[in-house]
Amino acid sequence: MRTVAKACLLRTGRGTRFEISLTLVDDPAIHRLNRSYRGVDRPTDVLSFAFEEGGPMAVPGSALPMLGEIVISAERAKAQAQSYGHSFRREMAFLMAHGMLHLLGYDHQTEGERRTMEGLQRQVLSVLGIRREPHEGE
């Protein structure tokens, strides 16, 4: 997950000197968060909470600026990996990349934004050698 986060930072030209919070949860937990923060009454796979729109924030006691929080439903990631026919590792890397790009200000509300964000996700996973095909033992 750290490698994916760093690859996102490098691919977007932000450097790698940031702190993020990553929490893995189950579907009921992410469902509650999705309902509370987005008003969407269903589980989702990943949520991102940027601490400061447009840039990182200073955190007292930390040497690094904090970008925000990423919450991933490991339960949903496992189900999606099986459904899409690829590894859990690949699905988790994809969700991490997606969450990081949201923290960095990318979105997918318009067709152009979606294409940009999807292109960056593909580039990051490709650079890391993470492919869609299943991996043995996962």
Condensed to tens digits (0 to 9), the pLDDT of residues 79-99 reads 999 999 999 999 999 999 999
* 101: number of Cβ within 10 Å: 22
- Write down the CATH number for the domain with range 2-127: 3.40.390.30
In 3-state terms, what secondary structure has residue 113? helix
> 0.75 exceeded by the pTM?
yes
Q: Which residues contact 83 (CB under 8 A, 6 or more apart)?
A: none
Written as tens digits, the pLDDT of the chain (138 aa) is 999 999 999 999 888 788 899 999 999 999 999 999 999 999 999 999 988 654 544 455 556 778 899 999 999 999 999 999 999 999 999 999 999 999 999 999 999 999 999 999 999 999 999 987 654 444
Listed by start position, the domains of the chain span 2-127
Q: Which pLDDT value is given to residue 52?
A: 65
Buried b (16+ CB within 10 A) or exposed e, 26-53: ebeebbebbeeeeeeeebbbbbbebbee
Question: Of all residues in the chain, what percent carry a pLDDT higher than 90?
Answer: 75
